[in-house]
Structure 1
């Protein structure tokens, strides 16, 4: 996951810079959301990754699916991603863009992985605790991950707060090896 973020971040920063310059953060947010949804579609992903399709065909498909949202900037982004073999990074680029946008608006996006679903009260309490710690409003993206065994893991940008049973077991195993 860290590798995807590392590769996607420069693209997201470039798009964010352009969107801010154009005063079109909302429009770019919507465009990136659509592009991410497209490449997350298994049928589209299969087409864009199949070697029999040329870059021009893939670009034409993406622009056709994007329709009226296909601004000149979106066209250039799609062409650049195809040229660099990074089209499937669009979901992560969109995610990183939203983080940059939220930070500029004085908010943080936190991905919360939990072993068991959280109640609304637990989500509210966690968001309040994180907001107090970081001094900004925190928006939660809660995802279930039964592999954690118990507890939560919070990802805020590059920072990871691992309060999961799996994380504690890994830490214990590492300390026992030393």
Structure 2
């Protein structure tokens, strides 16, 4: 998410995100290829400290940096991907670590673009997979086991999702295993935020005692969209502890209209 970058790095990410749209040319197929390759380049830069430091060093001429990435990645990635990487190494970064982080972010943006007009479904599937990992201890342990090979974890994820979810969902679920975030759950939550950001949407987590009907979801989304001045995507959680009513978390805001919250308020007033 661009808000995780600061100063020159934030400016570079914003410019690169705009440039990425031109690189993929509105083609979901190209976007899918670029997404996977940017994840690979990001991983390479994280693992090769000397290369990372060289291509992010402001004292090194841009021609030298773009020439080196051309030598390292030319012929191994699509020209659209190489164009994005060349542009990235020509920009300023607050720290060398921001460069691979930015390329991963751009990979997520490209993956969202590859979903085309199904980006809303992508958000729902990422949320559903995150909940599945949370609710299944055996799956969570398998994906977080440091002794288990990354490719073995990736095969497990693909076996669970392929044919049942969008290709972009599978791509991002596999990328969440890369270890660039503290946990798979944190990575998936960040990817959902990027998906919402790409679509210029807010992202709301809604906790309810029972599932909402389609009409109820639409009304709630409409109310929140009017309140926040842009479309809002809903992540719905059925939570028995809610008792009744609804709790909405959107950004730093919490709208708590649950029975349990009202009972807690009453208890506090009585205690006071």
TM-score, normalised to structure 2, is 0.45
Aligned to 1:136: 230
SS at match of 1:116: coil
Secondary structure in 2 matching 1:57:
coil
Q: Is the 8 A contact 1:16 1:97 kept in 2?
A: no
Aligned to 1:109: 203
- Contact persistence 2:244–2:259 (CA under 8 A): yes
Equivalent residues in 2 for 1:10-159, closer than 5 Å: 17-22=102-107, 24-26=110-112, 33=126, 36=130, 39=133, 42-48=137-143, 55=146, 57-65=148-156, 74=175, 78-80=178-180, 86=182, 89-159=183-253
Q: Which residues of structure 2 form unaligned runs of 5+? A: 5-97, 159-166
Query: In the aligned structure 2, how far is the partner of 1:127 from the partner of 1:16?
Result: 32
CA contact (8 A) 1:110 1:156 kept: yes
Name the count of aligned residue pairs: 154
Q: 1:19–1:25: 8 Å Cα contact kept in structure 2?
A: no
Confirm or deny: 8 A CA contact 2:142 2:148 kept in the other structure. Answer: no
The offset of 1:108, in angstroms, is 1.3
Larger Rg: 2
Query: Kindly tell me: are residues 110 and 25 of structure 1, through their superposed partners in 2, closer, same or farther at Cα, counting changes over 3 Å?
Result: same
For the aligned residue pairs, the C-alpha RMSD in angstroms reads 3.9
Contact 1:16 1:100 in 2 (8 A): no
- Asked whether the equivalents of residues 206 and 236 of structure 2 are also in contact (C-alpha less than 8 Å), the reply is yes
Judge conservation of contact 2:111–2:171 (CA < 8 Å) in 1.
no
Q: Give, in whole Å, the separation in 1 of the partners of 2:103 and 2:258.
A: 38
Q: Aligned in 2, Cα 1:37/1:60: closer, same or farther, shift over 3 Å?
A: farther
Higher fraction of strand? 1
Q: Give the structure-1-normalised TM-score.
A: 0.64
